[in-house]
């Protein structure tokens, strides 16, 4: 500290640099948050389609209507699914609940099926508002998206088997070992 007191110019420069670094870190942190919000939600995916397909203003209006209806349906399905899951987990505290658990599991499967069909119909509706040239681009985009594996999961979202293989059985040795 004595050195800084003796050299006020150096002390002032250090303080200015500390303030500048703090401001820069805050700026970068806030920028990253805003960038994540803008690039990860349904809005970003809609903008990606609009730009990739070069949609006309009329097509963009139709797309917005389709998206609003789709997300309204999906949100209701997700609420129903979460309620069924909550009920299923609530059965852990009751006796003789196997039949109820199976019924809730079937209900959850049916809801997931509705989500998948709704998503398929949604993309088919988007494709239907496209021109033939746009449909070719749309088909290429959808093929690329479906080819990508979700992070942390195996192909098409299938999780790898538990350690030791399914049901605790070890897999057969590779290469005759």
Question: How do residues 16-71 score in pLDDT, each as one tens digit?
Answer: 888 878 877 777 777 765 555 555 555 666 688 888 888 899 999 999 999 999 99
Instruction: Give the chain as a DSSP string.
Output: -HHHHH-HHHHHHHHHHHHHHHHHHHHHHHHHHHHHHHHHSHHHHHHHHHHHHT--HHHHHHHHHHHHHHHHHHHHHHHHHHHHHHHHHHGGGSSS-HHHHHHHHHHHHHHHHHHHHHHHHHHHHHHHTS-HHHHHHHHHHHHHHHHSPPTTS-GGGPPPPPTTSGGGPPPPPGGG-
* pLDDT of amino acid 153: 44
Q: Which of 52, 46, 72 has the alpha carbon at shortest distance from 135? A: 52
Question: How do residues 4-27 score in pLDDT, each as one tens digit?
Answer: 566 777 777 778 888 878 877 777
CA distance 130 to 58: 11
Question: How do residues 107-148 score in pLDDT, each as one tens digit?
Answer: 999 999 999 999 999 999 999 999 999 999 999 988 888 777
The CATH code that applies to domain 42-145 is: 1.20.120.1490
**What are the sequence ranges of the domains in the chain?**
2-40, 42-145
* pLDDT of amino acid 157: 46
* pLDDT of amino acid 42: 57
Q: Which of 34, 14, 12 has the alpha carbon at shortest distance from 22? A: 14
Helix 57-90 to helix 42-53 angle (10° resolution) is 150
Question: How do residues 149-175 score in pLDDT, each as one tens digit?
Answer: 565 444 444 445 555 555 555 556 665
- Average pLDDT for residues 68-86, to the nearest whole number? 95
The pTM of this model reads 0.58
């Amino acid at each position: 500290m004595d050195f800084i007191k003796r050299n006020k110019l150096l002390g002032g420069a250090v303080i200015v640099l500390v303030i500048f670094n703090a401001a820069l870190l805050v700026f970068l942190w806030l920028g990253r948050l805003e960038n994540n919000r803008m690039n990860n939600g349904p809005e970003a995916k809609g903008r990606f389609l609009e730009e990739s397909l070069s949609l006309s203003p009329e097509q963009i209006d139709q797309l917005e209507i389709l998206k609003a209806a789709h997300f309204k349906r999906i949100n209701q399905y997700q609420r129903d699914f979460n309620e069924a899951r909550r009920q299923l987990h609530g059965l852990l505290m009751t006796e003789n609940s196997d039949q109820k658990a199976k019924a809730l599991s079937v209900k959850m499967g049916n809801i997931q099926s509705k989500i998948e069909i709704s998503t398929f119909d949604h993309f088919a509706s988007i494709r239907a508002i496209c021109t033939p040239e746009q449909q070719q681009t749309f088909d290429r985009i959808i093929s690329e998206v479906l080819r990508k594996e979700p992070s942390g999961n195996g192909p098409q979202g299938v999780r790898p088997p538990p350690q030791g293989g399914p049901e605790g059985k070890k897999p057969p040795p590779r290469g005759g070992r």
